[in-house]
Amino acid sequence: MTRILNVALLLFAAQITGAELGLDAVQQRVDQLQPRTEEKRFDEIGWAKDIREALRLAKQHNRPVFLFTHDGRMNIGRC
């Protein structure tokens, strides 16, 4: 799998001309690859930092607690 990714990266890199390697071009590409607002709805959730805070807030606002656990990198969108 790593070998395939390396070959793909080399093929992609070979297509880039010297003019495209400037800082502005890199920044533009980084900006294009960032998630759009509608793709970041997950960030709008008011997460509690721990279960004690969640329970306190739930009691204060008379709301249930939704416990979500995850082992991975949620901030990059991969579950």
Phi and psi torsions of 10, nearest 5°? -65, -40
Using a pLDDT cut of 70, give the percent of the chain over it: 67
Q: How much is the pTM?
A: 0.42
Tokens of 78: 């991969």
Residue 1 has pLDDT above 90, yes or no: no
Tokens of 77: 């969108």
Give residue-wise pLDDT tens across range 22-59.
Answer: 788 889 989 999 988 888 887 888 889 899 999 999 99
Contacts within 8 Å (CB) and 24+ apart, 35-44: 35/77, 39/77, 42/74
